[in-house]
Amino acid sequence: MDKYKTIEFADDHLILLDQTKLPLEEEYIVSDDYKRIAIAIEKLEVRGAPAIGIVAAYALALALKFNNNSATDTFLKAYNRLKITRPTAVNLFWALERMKKIFEKHSASPDIYTILKSEANKIFAEDELMCDNIAKNGQEIFTKKSIVVTHCNTGRLVSAGGGTALFVIQKAFESGLIEHVYSDETRPLLQGSRLTAFELNKLEIPFSIITDSSAAFVMKNIGADLVITGADRIARNGDTANKIGTYNLAVLAKYHGIPFYIAAPSSTLDNNCITGDDIKIEFREPHEINSIKGVQVTDKSYPVYSPAFDVTPNHLITGIITEDRLFKPPYNF
């Protein structure tokens, strides 16, 4: 498999694989401007909870690259801009706060750019390691060669390493434990049919894209063995926010007696959220629903309601895999 690079930092520039163009075109965005990087996060050119955090960390460092004025003003301007890009994935805020602490400690240093850059590099390296350990810890959920259903995208495209849920699947496949993967297309932005399919294809894992509404059919008629997805924010009681449609899948899994797992790094756990009710859900623009790739599919004037994430209650989650271990209910993070 050629290893496409989701996020790379080279020659003091951030290089991002433009995920809005995949799988039809592999194009890269090269920038050293935090404002352009903030737009890349908003437009989902880079996406997925861990990736958003990593990229925001580099963007904050880059804000100080040409710092001619007050470092504090420049830093805070960039910090405040990045903070309003997307509200649900907590990894963004986790990374921004971590960078802010480093900035506050070293703000007077003439090397502040280098110091921030090295913290962003650390976040990148830690994420890569977390992915390895999530994949390792996730292997205990496989008791036989399995048919798996997944939602949204959770592979190399969301992280500095192999990913979360999809990396668990990849490692299981390498041990001969995957029969087939059903990838929900994940309306409206098609992270499943565009991105997960792109990754499964590169990994040569047998898969089929299904419409989101086919999951019950697959569970009843084909008999999935397990469902595994990623997460954007996990509350202390295990309630989990993930891409819209994840909750549907968890309800269906429960009905069909199929185990439902979440895989995520500890940077996705939010101590400030006691339950899922505390998680802020992002709502997206109507054009993402009423048109596809710029082609109008319904009347522009029709009202649209578009939550980008939903919260799966803890009692529907069989286990949560992190880099530490596989957690079973009752969850108490």
For the CB of residue 264, give the shortest distance to ligand MRU in the complex, in Å. 6
**Cβ(193)–Cβ(185) under 8 Å?**
yes
* CA–CA separation, 227 and 299 (whole Å): 35
Helix (H) or strand (E) holding 314: none
Query: Cβ atoms within 10 A of the Cβ of 158, count?
Result: 34
Q: Which residue has the tokens 């894209």?
A: 209
**Residue 83 and residue 88: Cα distance in Å, rounded?**
11
**In terms of CB distance, is 81 or 187 closer to ligand MRU?**
187
Query: Which residue, 71 or 181, has its beta carbon nearer to ligand MRU?
Result: 181
Catalytic residue among 232, 239, 270, 310: 232
Nearest approach in angstroms of CB 28 to ligand MRU is 18
Query: Are the C-beta atoms of 6 and 46 separated by less than 8 Å?
Result: yes
Question: What is the nearest approach in angstroms of ligand MRU to the Cβ of residue 158?
Answer: 4
Dihedral sign for Cα 43, 45, 49, 50, please. negative
| Nearest distance in Å: CB 241, ligand MRU | 8
- Cα 187 from Cα 204, distance rounded (Å): 24
C-alpha distance from residue 217 to each of 77, 146, 163, 188, 214 (Å): 49, 17, 28, 20, 5
Q: Which is nearer to ligand MRU, 74 or 193 (CB)?
A: 193
Q: Catalytic site residue 310?
A: no
Question: Which residue, 107 or 133, has its beta carbon nearer to ligand MRU?
Answer: 133
Instruction: Please report how close the Cβ of residue 155 comes to ligand MRU at its closest, in angstroms.
Output: 9
Q: Which of 65, 225, 254, 18 is nearest to 142 (CA)?
A: 225
Nearest residue to the partner ligand MRU, using Cβ: 230
Q: Whole-number minimum distance, CB 185 to ligand MRU, in Å?
A: 13
Q: Is 264 helix (H, G, I), strand (E, B) or coil?
A: coil
Closest C-alpha among 278, 333, 288, 285 to residue 311 = 278
Site residues, ligand MRU (CB under 6 A)? 44, 47-50, 89, 152, 154, 158, 164, 191, 229-232, 242-243, 308
Tokens 């500095």, residue located: 160
Nearer to ligand MRU, 98 or 243 (CB): 243
- The residue behind tokens 């996060």 is 41
Q: Which is nearer to ligand MRU, 164 or 322 (CB)?
A: 164
DSSP code, position 269:
B
- Show which residues are catalytic: 232
